[in-house]
Structure 1
């Protein structure tokens, strides 16, 4: 198993790594508390929470050239995304903090001749400049929306900027786009969650270059360098970028199931892909990350239908709840996604309450329970609300939720990629959904393809063996569950196969599907949980769906400022979450057996 020091990127020596090593329980607490001994060692972090070195360096150069003293910059791929950020700042910041708030658009210098390839890549960046005091609010927008530039885009555009090929746009800014009014939401949820309170100003130390990487790492670095060297289009076959995106969309649609040469002809789209008729490739939209797919789904619904409160059904991934609370009329929250919660919702609907849409995960994170999508679909049809399902954990190899949803979203950063070196998100429309036509009209008018070319190339390459990897991870997960279930110190094993909502999962499970690659467990007390986690010989950090096993004290990381609130909803603050990888199953079983052995000397009555 790999060994990572505190703050090291996961994978090691990977310039665009998605995870960061927090190898002990104490290190996770130190991260949440902002302890210098931890944050000063962090070379990277999860990209929506930690602003990557490449992005920060570019932002600093922009402010140095165009900004005023005391200003900072946050970078977005388009003018519209930057304007959404400025509107969020205006809505949330005090009047004093709104001074010097502006947007600068950087585009290719039109006075110089550029290759066709460079023009087709469309390198551009829009910078939001603001006073230092407004940074926490700007960071909230970056984090919740997923609208920010990717590190690869920043790296590429920064090179153009230094070469004086990316310059300040001279044309006037367009009017601000229509944007739904933000809501501060119920007072209970205004308190900052842990990710809101992270002090990023002390942790932007960037990534150290690897001097001695493995052959795979060297190959990736070389591939990245070649892309940058070809930024003038001397050798890059630009058609591969669009073909890569098409291949990714078709994999998401379920019609491209084998490896394929990007220069060859792709198989035709079948009319019944993903279990629905009339499905087309252009019903799949690529986003820069999974959270941006959720943000886009919510914003699209607000522009498609009469703005109303949304429903968050189930214990939420933190930023999903934040999006529903802060952008639009607010949110009705059902924290357990139980049959009783559905009874409550149905009673409200019968009483005349109406909603924009219901957002849920299938299965949920971290308890791996599944909402009753059959009943939810019936209620949605009867009482006129949209259904948005996040299938990131289940994956479309294991389950098919599209027939029950109007929109399916997914984080392609996770299992779809597996390599933990590129971000991506997917949004899929149900072509037979009752809102399909109006959603399609809004998206055709509003949607911007901001998925950066190099990210698309990496994601396409990574996802070629998605189906076989998923099947292996399913089997490995069941092997680990057997070890956990057999040990007396393990009090709960959360996995769809053993959940009291297994019937809901099975209603969507595909004939050859499994029960996913995510497991959570609890032990008898906190001391045992710490002993177990610290003894686990796996990579440890945020994210999931990696090709290697990755564990974390998930509730501690995601809900550090509200652990008691999580406990009230049935989520143990000392829960350990396990994202299962592709390792040999016997090795995995021995690793977990050894970690459980470390709990046996810990008294049962510890707290």
Structure 2
């Protein structure tokens, strides 16, 4: 991939890109330090950390029209998600800054007679309004929960808002609006009276525009027809909504492993029968798979569901965590205990706690973990869970559905579809699977039936389905490429450690879940002898460089620096080197030469 300039989207020229270019070691530090020479160049960023500019623009317009001077807005897809953010702010922010805190709900104006197709996707927006002092708390909720609106939803709803089609709840348009702005919509929204009809006529040669007049019943009927046609043509068809139900079903069946063909999909495509023994689990049904807006939202939803399905207790974060998983367990419930290494010694300690009477809500782990690619002992964890009554939640994002099957050992399996399932780095998504044979299945299913909101935006669904059609064949290729890179790194004298499931001491744990003929995944990490060597390697490697993983192109990151900059000593205490380099392996044919060239740059460093 050609060099991508600092701050440009990854992939380049992609409006809804999921990553951003940080091409040098120094630029990663500048980003973490909040330096303007980095931040001012960023046209996008990872969506839960960087609020997309289309979302910012929509929020600014909402505040300008309906907010108070100086307020800001955080946008959510539904009233329930906005209320959760509001509750979080009220619990975490000082009372002194909560004076102007509120929510504005925007819905389709019922007087505009929107077509059924548009109504079916629920293009609503709920804006949490607050003063700038509250922003850090609202941003925490946005980042941890994954509840915020997607950039595609924001763009679509912003257009509706500008046409006065999306309006504050309870506000219905009148056939006699006080003063209308010129608009791009049908005549009804921009009719002006002739100047001759103004009761006072022209004054001093100047016409008074705009002015309104009464609308006759015949005109009102004609305008309703015109309005409905306008909405259908401009918005109802743009989404290609007939594809959405089949697209969701196709995604679920790919996750279940029963749909591997990569052909075109339309609203009438017959999908393969959902095998009740898919994933090695009896009684498995499609509606046990839930689609959510992003992977972190799958973890957040699972945790919230367990808290309601069971007696609320502390959870266990087992293994070095993705940054927000631990935050969710700590901030949105009774708390968590943390085992940063996820080792057999940690399991010994946990078992001792359990024998002494401690009880937990659930154990959350990754398989393999990120960034050390170690694998927890799911056999032993399952045995402890059955004995001492806690749920097991496994994040298989890195392992992928094609390489491993962890569902037999888990009560819930979560995954970020944003990553290699999509591959194109241009859409977010997540999934959660309930194991139908779990002892908690009935209670979790009840909570999900009562509480779950499908907020996965229709356009994102369509992109995700299209991107994931060749998921399985791509996994086979990145498996092979990752092993080839490991072969180069393992023999180089400057490389001190290579982290990959095939070579880690926990390989036997991986093999228990590895599917026949599968590989070891497309993510690996390494450390070099010194920081200077790591910097030279990173600056020289000719791949895309930025946050995220699981892209069809290789993506390199000084992961610990980027994810744990404020807690590097803590990361080191968990056995994670702050200078670690993480390589998400893509589909390129020349990766061995690219890595070899970067290693030569490291060799040139004089120590």
Q: Following the alignment from structure 1 to structure 2, what is the Cα–Cα distance between the partners of residues 96 and 235?
A: 45
CA distance change for structure 1 residues 237 and 11 in 2, over 3 Å: closer, same or farther?
Answer: closer
Q: What secondary structure does 1:551 align onto?
A: strand
For 2:460, which of 455, 458, 464 is the aligned residue? 455
CA distance in 1, matches of 2:167, 2:449: 29
Residue pair 2:70, 2:131 contacting (<8 A) in 1 also? yes
The match for 1:188 is none
Partner of 1:224: none
The 2-side partners of 1:236 and 1:491 are apart by 51
**How far, CA to CA, are the matches of 1:146 and 1:2 in structure 2?**
32
Q: CA deviation at 1:462?
A: 0.1
Equivalent positions of 1:193-272 (< 5 A) are 231-234=234-237, 237-260=240-263, 261-262=265-266, 263-272=268-277
- Shift of residue 512 of structure 1? 1.9
Where 2:111 maps in the other structure, the secondary structure is coil
Report the Cα distance in structure 2 between the residues aligned to 1:498 and 1:291, rounded to whole angstroms.
28
The yes-or-no answer on 1:304 pairing with 2:309 is yes
Deviation at 1:237, TM superposition (A): 4.5
- Tell me which residue corresponds to 1:185: none
Q: Provide the rounded CA distance (Å) in 2 between the counterparts of 1:35 and 1:234.
A: 43
Q: TM-score, normalised by structure 2?
A: 0.89
Tell me the SS of whatever aligns to 1:532.
helix
For 1:380 and 1:439, how far apart are their aligned partners in 2? 16
**Pair 170,420 (structure 1): closer, same or farther in 2 beyond 3 Å:** same
Cα distance, 1:376 vs. partner?
Answer: 0.2
Shift in Å at residue 235 of structure 1? 6.7
Residue of 505, 508, 514 corresponding to 1:509 = 514
Matched, 1:443 2:448: yes
Q: Which residue does 1:285 correspond to in 2?
A: 290
Query: Quick one: structure 1 residues 351 and 10, their matched pair in 2 at CA, closer, same or farther if it must change by over 3 Å?
Result: same
Aligned counterpart, 1:433: 438
Tell me the secondary structure at the aligned position of residue 235 of structure 2.
coil
Q: Which runs of 4+ in 1 moved over 3 A?
A: 228-231, 234-237
Asked if 1:332 is matched to 2:337, the reply is yes
User: Which residue of 521, 535, 539 maps to 1:534?
Assistant: 539
CA distance in 1, matches of 2:540, 2:238: 49
Matches within 5 A, 1:67-78: 67-78=67-78
Where does the alignment leave 5 or more consecutive residues of structure 2 unmatched? 172-230
In 1, distance between residues paired with 2:241 and 2:482?
40
1:398 alignment counterpart: 403
In the superposition, relative to structure 1, how do residues 264 and 373 fare at CA in structure 2: closer, same or farther (>3 Å)? same
The answer (yes or no) to whether the contact 1:287–1:425 under 8 Å persists in 2 is yes
CA contact (8 A) 1:117 1:232 kept: no
CA separation in 2, counterparts of 1:324 and 1:512?
36
1:375 pairs with 2:380: yes
Q: Is the 8 A contact 2:106 2:166 kept in 1?
A: yes
- Within a 5 Å distance, the mapping from 1:34-433 to structure 2 comes to 34-170=34-170, 231-234=234-237, 237-260=240-263, 261-262=265-266, 263-433=268-438
Aligned length: 547
Q: Equivalent residue for 1:22?
A: 22
In structure 1, the gaps of 5 or more residues are 172-227
* 1:599 is the counterpart of 2:602: yes
Please list the CA deviations of residues 20-59 of structure 1 after superposition, one character each: whole Å capped at 9, or x if unmatched.
0000000000000111111100110000000001100000
| Pair 1:411–1:235, CA change in 2 (3 A) | closer
Question: Greater Rg, structure 1 or structure 2?
Answer: 2
Structure 1 residue 230: Cα displacement: 5.2
Question: In the alignment, is the contact (CA less than 8 A) between 1:114 and 1:232 conserved in 2?
Answer: no
**How does the TM-score come out when normalised to structure 1?**
0.89
Q: Contact 1:117 / 1:237 at 8 angstroms: preserved in 2? A: no
